[in-house]
Amino acid sequence: MLAVEPQATVAMARWDPRVRQQPDGPRHTDGGPVSATADDTAEHASRSGWHWPGGGPDQRLAQSVGQLGATLRASEPTAEPGRLAKRNALVSLRNARRALDRRWAHNEQAWAWFHAARREEFRLRTRADLEMLQVDLEKEATEKLQSSWRLEAVKNYGPADGDHLVERLIQVQRHLDEKAENDNRNRMLQRRQVVIYLAVLTVALVLICILEFLDRGLLLAEGDIDGWWVVSAALYGTLGGAFSSAQRVAAPRRGVRYPELRWAQLANAFRPMAGGAAALIAFAALQADLLGGTAGESGPRVAIFSFIAGFSERFIPSLATQQAPASPSPEPVH
């Protein structure tokens, strides 16, 4: 007697492509053998390898993969197009699970495979489900595709019926999925940048604290200027540049495409180094009495000016503008 496979556990099981190379025999409609018991399936589904810290799978995505897999395995399409759609969806889910099971989970790839499987699942739905799905997708597209060419495309598709309705819904869902994947790709890029700048901030703060502990910093220094002042000034400028970059990246951006964010990533990565260089220029300006006669001899003031020079990209240009000689006004012509 065959064991009944629970949907919750079967959804997480891997689909073995070697089944198609076996002799004909009792099988499920998706090509999988019926000899696997529920316990074996549950044990295989619960097996999960370790992941690198911070590289674990998206739990919401893993749950969605399981739910969709359960729905697909419970379906029993009779027509060949339906069986083909079910098989393609299961293959996509298998690829999504493989991406999630990596040591560093490829959540972005897994989302793309899951979206492909979900679109194929539309072909297995009844006419009543498709009509309700059409209302849901039109509302979702109006909300999520605002000010986008995708929304105009969805509106121009026009009414559809029968097989054309399925293709129309798949196309609308593809626009929504691509929008979600692009937004997720942008968020992942922003998160990586924020982590990098936070690491730079941490390193700069630790070095500054070490210098202060060794009595080589600026916060408690007065009078005697040595080479450690230059090192501390560069660190404060790097700190300001990294803080500015992290603030820029964390700020929400709407309507910015991924290539533009990639270019902004390169520009922001240059800011901590540029901040250190700007701090050295500000330190030289203090020593040249361009910002006050006694400011260059005060360690705390040097630290403040160095941080401002690294944080604000307009500080050094404004300083140069202030020191530029004013052009003589032309004499009036009598």
Q: What is the pLDDT along the chain (334 residues), one digit of tens a residue?
A: 334 434 333 333 333 333 333 333 333 434 443 333 333 333 333 345 565 656 778 889 999 999 999 999 999 998 999 999 999 999 999 999 999 988 888 888 999 999 999 999 999 999 899 999 999 999 999 888 887 888 888 888 877 777 789 999 999 999 999 988 888 888 888 888 888 888 888 999 999 999 888 888 888 777 677 788 889 999 999 998 888 888 888 776 666 676 677 777 777 788 888 888 888 888 888 887 776 656 667 788 888 888 988 888 666 556 555 554 544 545 555 4
For the chain, domain boundaries: 7-184, 185-322
Whether 144 contacts 102, CB under 8 Å: no
73-124, pLDDT tens digit by residue?
999 998 999 999 999 999 999 999 999 988 888 888 999 999 999 999 999 9
In angstroms, rounded to a whole number, what is the distance separating the alpha carbons of residues 178 and 165?
Answer: 20
- Write out the two tokens for 27: 């099988």
Measuring CA to CA, which residue among 57, 145, 68, 67 is closest to residue 108? Answer: 57
Element (DSSP H or E) covering residue 243? helix 227-250
What is residue 308's DSSP assignment?
Answer: H
| Angle (deg, nearest 10), helices 227-250 and 163-213 | 160
In angstroms, rounded to a whole number, what is the distance separating the alpha carbons of residues 60 and 239?
Answer: 36
